[in-house]
Chains A and B, each alone.
Chain A
């Protein structure tokens, strides 16, 4: 069966440390993998997108890796801050680009950064 799993429901870390979130999938062949941030009672906000032929993508304190052999993506937040506390969702894009995106979302990992 097809599954997308995010390693843990919750992750607690100390301010200043690096948060690492994991997204694993089975029986999918996504062209892209996307990461979103969702705050309570709000819609998700797009963070990063990585293509199947890219190993790593960075944006400020964020870094995403994509290993299509392991069927895994890692999402890192360096020098974490309490303001980074939120739920982070990974999403598989099965439509090989274009605007007709068919995204399959994981349940998310709730990150809490303690001061």
Chain B
């Protein structure tokens, strides 16, 4: 149980284009999902907390107009990197926690974004 999927697993795009990453909870409903970014040999950095049916809460320093988050249903959240640049190249990972759970998070497999 508590499986989270992400799509795509890997994407290469040209500078200036937009990329959408999907995060799905497969066997549970996730009222809250989290988006992280991880650079090589660095810790996971929380970008935003996504709540179903409401606006996402962004961490300090994360541009909400650049990283658009939509959590339209209890099983799907999307992250769109708009006008991507090479410095946006990173490993993007989503997670979800169970309502009433102990606080552990269930992570997707991640999406490797490379912007040329």
Contacts and interface: CB of A to CB of B under 8 A. Distances in A.
B43 A46 contact: no
B93 A101 contact: no
Interface in B82-116: 91, 93, 95, 97-110, 112
A101 B107 CA distance: 13
A1 interface: no
B102 A105 contact: no
Interface residues of A, number: 25
Contacts of B60: none
Contacts of A107: 41-43
Given A44-B44, A105-B43, A107-B41, A99 B109 contact: no
Interface of A: prevailing SS? loop
Q: Bin the interface of chain B by size.
A: 20 to 34
Contacts of A42: 109-110
A21 B26 CA distance: 32
A101 B103 contact: yes
A9 B46 CA distance: 21
Nearest to B97: A99
A98 interface: yes
A97 B42 CA distance: 26
Contacts of A49: 102-104
14 contacts: A9-B41, A32-B103, A41-B110, A41-B112, A42-B110, A43-B93, A43-B107, A93-B103, A95-B103, A99-B31, A99-B97, A101-B103, A101-B105, A108-B43
Given A9-B41, A44-B44, 9 more contacts: A34-B104, A41-B110, A42-B110, A43-B4, A43-B110, A46-B104, A49-B104, A95-B103, A99-B100
